[in-house]
Amino acid sequence: MIEKREVILFGKLADPLGSSVRVDGGDRSELVQDVRARVAALEPRLGELLADPGVRACVDGALAVDGMIAGPGCPIERIPVVSGG
């Protein structure tokens, strides 16, 4: 059985599918960008939102770039651009 990786979505990223999705790959280390691509393929609108260069990823509570590795079982969080005033 393939273990799933949890991807937690915040703000407007949660609108298309909810605040959490699970994708294959939780049983291995992989690039953050590869997980993003699988999540984006789940729903076209979510794919558009994730393509925004301002969307950030967090792995183990730290900001991560797409070329970083997420270890086995490690959830990834996606945070949209936030503006304040």
Read off the pLDDT of residues 2-56 as tens digits, 9 standing for 90 and up: 799 999 999 999 999 999 999 999 999 999 999 999 999 999 999 999 999 999 9
φ, ψ for residue 46 (rounded to 5)? -65, -40
Contact at 8 Å (CB) between 63 and 56?
A: yes
Full set of structural domains in the chain with CATH:
4-79 (3.10.20.30)
Contact at 8 Å (CB) between 45 and 11?
A: no
The confidence band for 81, taking pLDDT boundaries of 50, 70 and 90, is: confident
pTM of the prediction? 0.91
Q: Which of 20, 25, 17, 14 is nearest to 55 (CA)?
A: 14
